[in-house]
Amino acid sequence: MKFLNAGMTAAVLMIVSSAALGQAAYPSKPIRFIVPFPPGGGTDLVSRALTQSLAKANHWTFVVDNKPGAGGNIGAEAAAKAAPDGYTLVMGQTSNLAINPFLYAKPPFNPLRDFAPVALVNSVPLVIVTSGRSGFRNMADVIAAAKAAPDRITYASPGSGTVGHLAGEVIEQIAGIKLVHIPYKGASPALTDLIGGQVDLYLSTPQAAAGHIKSGAIRALAVTSPKRTTALPEVPTLSEAGFKGAESNSWYGVLAPANTPPAIVNQLNAAIVKALKEPDLREALSREGGEVLGGTPAQFTELLKSEQAKWAKVVRDSGAKVD
């Protein structure tokens, strides 16, 4: 009987030890990192900078999976429906987490119910840009043209329901003008058409637009931040251009599917917060005027709740809807 008890005890210890080792080994395989927008845009650039830093510091392997469409809903939905085991993450941001739930008639997921927030990454303003060959030199030129030819001036966004789309709606309300919104499936195709003159304006993240601004292919007219950004110090804010109250920004944060084990969420949070303190990543994220964030999963949840309240009102006041 003593031998039996000893054998049972050893077996239990082996099981417990194996379980502990299994938990400690996370991650033991590549992590799928979903980016809900195409390569080349702000969300993609932030995601790749972060995953490269995490991979280097922790010897983890990431597979970045761009899944664009429906204003970021397609990629976010795929993440929400993935197994809650820590091997699928998504880069959420203002549009698909705080705007889309109120813009779409039948949103495919509920951000507060279907995700486990892991960590905020950064926040960036938008920059309103036009083609380098455009006659628009400032926002006053845009207003004058829009009033002279209502429903003729077009502005592109990375998709219906993105911050770029709704920020354009706010500008229309404040200026008393009507612009034509042209949604794209991300920043890269929108910028391509802007440079080619197919659209008049684009509300871009500084990361996506910076290279084209420097080359002269596009011209910056205003930034949506309360203060001028260090990346574009010569570009006035919307408030300076006469659009007080039109400030907005786009924030980014990593999420896992709901019910992902808290130990994994906390491990990921600790790794991300540590990475955000590294000079190289901080420089990459703040290079174009962004603010590095970080913080706890609980702080991410609180921000999401407050941002949903803010953007729900903008959607309601604008009358914007997507079926």
- Provide the β-strand partners of residue 204: 127
Lookup result for tokens 């290079």: 287
Would you state the torsion angle of the CA atoms of residues 300, 301, 305, 311, taken in this order, to the nearest 10 degrees? 40
Question: Residues near 44 by Cβ (< 8 Å), separated by ≥ 6?
Answer: 35, 37, 38, 64, 66, 186
Compute the chain's Rg from CA coordinates. 22
- Can you give the pLDDT at residue 95? 87
Taking alpha carbons only, the member of 305, 294, 297, 295 closest to residue 261 is 297
pLDDT at 298: 98
Round to whole Å and give the CA distance between 95 and 311. 9
| Intervals of the chain under pLDDT 70 | 1-24, 288-289
**CA–CA distance, 166 with 219 (Å, rounded to integer):** 21
Nearest-angstrom CA–CA distance, 155 and 311: 20
Three-class SS string for 74-130? HHHHHHHCCCCCCCEEEEEEHHHHHHHHHHECCCCCCHHHHEEEEEEEEEEECEEEE
Tokens of 97: 């987490």
Provide the pLDDT for residue 322.
80
Taking the C-alpha atoms of residue 47 and residue 121, their distance in angstroms, rounded to an integer, is: 9
Q: At a CB cut-off of 8 Å and minimum separation 6, what does 19 contact?
A: none
Q: Tell me 48's DSSP state.
A: H
Q: pTM to 2 decimals?
A: 0.78
Euclidean distance between CA atoms 260 and 262, whole angstroms: 6
Alpha helices by DSSP H, listed for the chain, are: 2-24, 42-58, 73-80, 94, 100-103, 111-114, 139-148, 163-175, 187-196, 206-215, 262-275, 279-286, 297-318
Domains of the chain: 30-123+250-318 (3.40.190.150), 127-223 (3.40.190.10)
pLDDT tens profile 223-261: 998 888 877 889 999 999 888 888 888 899 999 999 999
